[in-house]
Amino acid sequence: MDLQQWTLKDVVEALRRGQVSSVEITRAYLARIEALEPHIHAFLHLDPEGALRRAAEADRLRTQAEDPTSLPPLLGVPIAVKDVLTVRGMPCTCGSRILEDFVPPYNATAVQRLLDAGVIVVGKTNTDEFAMGSSTENSAYGPTYNPWDPSRVPGGSSGGSAAAVAARMVPAALGTDTGGSVRQPASFCGVTGLKPTYGRISRFGLVAYGSSLDTVGTLTLTAADAALLFPLMAGFDPRDATSMRQPVPTITLPDEPDLRGLRIGVPQEYFREGLQPEVAQAVRQAIEHLAHLGAEVVDISLPHTPYAVPVYYIIAPSEASANLARYDGIRYGPRVEGETMWDIFYKTRGRLFGPEVKRRIMLGTYALSAGYYDAYYAKAQKVRTLFRQDFEKAFQRVDLIAAPVAPSTAFPIGTKTQDPLSMYLEDIFTLPANLAGVPGIAFPVGFDHQGLPIGMQLMAPPFEEPRLLAVAHAYQMTTDWHTRVPRFASQGAVGSTP
């Protein structure tokens, strides 16, 4: 079977029709992982025995079912999960030495709901440590490499999930998006990344980074694939205090790519100095394509966009400094021994946290400290309100907002690790959606001259994920960027030829 051309929807249909068994499809993906993983390093943990065991059970249930329509909708479908979401019985390291070998006793709600729908988790994907990064270079277990060019980053922090999907190691993977960590790697790897509205999918079982920003999202090949996963994960969860009591929508994708009556806003602040010309050109051509499908394009302004980086890098590290205080060498993971409890605490955190995590803890602790709280954290929260107002005002005029995902295509590994500010600026176009809590979707709209994918994002009013998915689907019905596959040599080496 040619997995390079199989989407999640294709896998579901093939299983439903009996064209392939779950054991066969799971073995095929595991074989592809075995061949390509040494070159990509998308995974931190694999469970091939458990995956095949669950695949055999899925096949047994399908064979014995008297009414096939009663079966779970994704029965026997293999997926991967970012290693910041708990999966019972699998390690959850968050890409950090401080959680090395930690195995949680419960499933994250998003994971459990997909398990209830029949999926098989084949493994946990690589991530920047505690999801703090834009390149997956901050993982304590080594970087992930972009399948289109292994000298380039896959984006972050969900780089492992994006790379695994782009390389067709799995048909879909879960990621998380705190400041762009689903959409940016989706753009860099040429796949589709959905970041839902804040509170739409439960955060229970997600190891917290920035509690007011974290969202669970999906990495898939197409918007139609994301539409299969999203409604199964969405919905209120009493175990998450930020979970919203909103009905789960029924996703109905259009049969025809007709966007008449849709108004798409284009913010002038996103087409700024420093934007790679090929990125700007591809995104503008994609917007023109949406106009050709019937959409009306409207110039808008999101005036506080330039403040996204400083506001985010006060709020997120402040929340991280509180959330990561629990990792002390006493309750979780390995311990660096010392003479006293405080000695253990200092040595464990000092040696087992990576440099980026320590940098953000220090930034956040400083912003929350006496004498500086009002000057930094409180003021950042006030400016965050202005971001929400920007989007509210824009959505009075338009139905969606279209913009670049990142200022450039995937950059070479190692070029930004010694310059934190340069790395932080990679998130300037994705941060506003997190600060405002609105949903967004990223998908491929072209390639640059080096054969690297270019992504565009659409943003919508809160809880309008169906609109995002429908428009992205309409675009993908009439283009083929999302069908391009990285070429692999016989032993799994990759090249970038769109």
In a domain, 393, yes or no: no
Q: Show the tokens assigned to 141.
A: 């277990």
Alpha helix stretches (DSSP H) within 293-397: 308-323, 341-352, 355-368, 379-394
Q: Show the tokens assigned to 173.
A: 């993977």
Last residue of one domain, picked from the residues 387, 420, 454: 387
Same domain, 62 and 193: yes
Q: Show the tokens assigned to 172.
A: 């879909």
Counting beta carbons within 10 angstroms of the beta carbon of residue 212, is it exposed (0 to 12), middle (13 to 18) or buried (19 or more)? middle
Same domain, 206 and 279: yes
The phi, psi pair for 14, rounded to 5°, reads -65, -40
pLDDT of residue 5: 85
Q: What is the rounded distance in angstroms from the CA atom of residue 72 to the CA atom of residue 220? A: 20
Q: What is the rounded distance in angstroms from the CA atom of residue 336 to the CA atom of residue 370? A: 30
Residues 6+ positions from 302 with CB-CB distance below 8 Å: 267, 269, 270, 387, 390, 391, 394, 401, 432
CB atoms within 10 A of CB 386: 14
Same domain, 230 and 319: no
The CATH number of whichever domain residue 54 belongs to comes to 3.90.1300.10
Residue range(s) defining the domain that contains residue 362: 305-387
Residues 6+ positions from 259 with CB-CB distance below 8 Å: 290, 293, 294, 295, 471, 474
Q: Are strands 453-459 and 440-447 parallel, antiparallel or unpaired?
A: antiparallel
How far, CA to CA in Å, does 443 sit from each of 47, 182, 212, 468?
A: 29, 11, 25, 11
Q: What is the rounded distance in angstroms from the CA atom of residue 172 to the CA atom of residue 77? A: 9
In a domain, 194, yes or no: yes
Alpha helix stretches (DSSP H) within 243-327: 277-292, 308-323
Last residue of one domain, picked from the residues 330, 365, 387: 387
Same domain, 357 and 243: no
Last residue of one domain, picked from the residues 329, 362, 387: 387
Identify each DSSP E strand in 185-288 by its residue range. Answer: 192-195, 215-220, 263-267
Longest dimension (CA), the chain: 70
Same domain, 145 and 20: yes
Number of domains, the chain = 2
Q: What is the rounded distance in angstroms from the CA atom of residue 219 to the CA atom of residue 163? A: 9
Residue with tokens 């966007």: 259
Same domain, 218 and 251: yes
In a domain, 392, yes or no: no
In a domain, 394, yes or no: no
pLDDT of residue 4: 83
User: Active site includes 181?
Assistant: yes
CB atoms within 10 A of CB 46: 17
Same domain, 19 and 146: yes
pLDDT of residue 492: 44
In a domain, 232, yes or no: yes
Instruction: Work out whether the CA dihedral 305, 306, 307, 308 comes out positive or negative.
Output: positive
Same domain, 293 and 312: no
In a domain, 223, yes or no: yes
SS3 category, 291: helix
Please pick, among 21, 22, 82, 187, the residue that the annotation labels catalytic: 82
Please pick, among 161, 181, 243, 496, the residue that the annotation labels catalytic: 181
* No. of helices (H) and no. of strands (E), the chain: 15, 13
User: Active site includes 82?
Assistant: yes
Same domain, 291 and 321: no
Same domain, 175 and 222: yes
Q: What is the rounded distance in angstroms from the CA atom of residue 498 to the CA atom of residue 485? A: 7
Cis-peptide, bond into residue 157, ω within 30° of zero = yes
pLDDT of residue 488: 56
Q: What is the rounded distance in angstroms from the CA atom of residue 468 to the CA atom of residue 227? A: 10
| 395 in Cβ contact with 432 (< 8 Å) | no
Which of the 8 DSSP states describes residue 329?
S
pLDDT of residue 329: 87
Same domain, 383 and 407: no
Same domain, 321 and 441: no
How far, CA to CA in Å, does 120 sit from each of 54, 309, 339?
A: 7, 37, 45
pLDDT tens digits, the chain, 498 residues: what are they?
678 889 999 999 999 999 999 999 999 999 999 999 999 999 999 999 999 999 999 999 999 998 988 999 999 999 999 999 999 999 999 999 999 989 999 999 999 999 999 999 999 999 999 999 999 999 999 999 999 999 999 999 999 999 999 999 999 999 999 999 999 999 999 999 999 999 999 999 999 999 999 999 999 999 999 999 999 999 999 999 999 999 998 899 999 999 999 999 999 999 988 999 999 999 999 999 999 999 999 999 999 999 999 999 999 999 999 999 999 888 878 899 998 988 999 999 999 999 999 999 999 999 999 899 999 999 999 999 999 999 999 999 999 999 999 999 999 999 998 888 889 999 999 999 999 999 999 999 999 999 999 999 999 999 999 999 999 999 999 999 999 999 753 344 444 333
In a domain, 471, yes or no: yes
pLDDT of residue 498: 37
For 477, half-sphere exposure in the C-beta direction (CA atoms, 13 angstrom radius) is: 16
CB atoms within 10 A of CB 67: 6
Please pick, among 22, 96, 139, 157, the residue that the annotation labels catalytic: 157
In a domain, 295, yes or no: yes
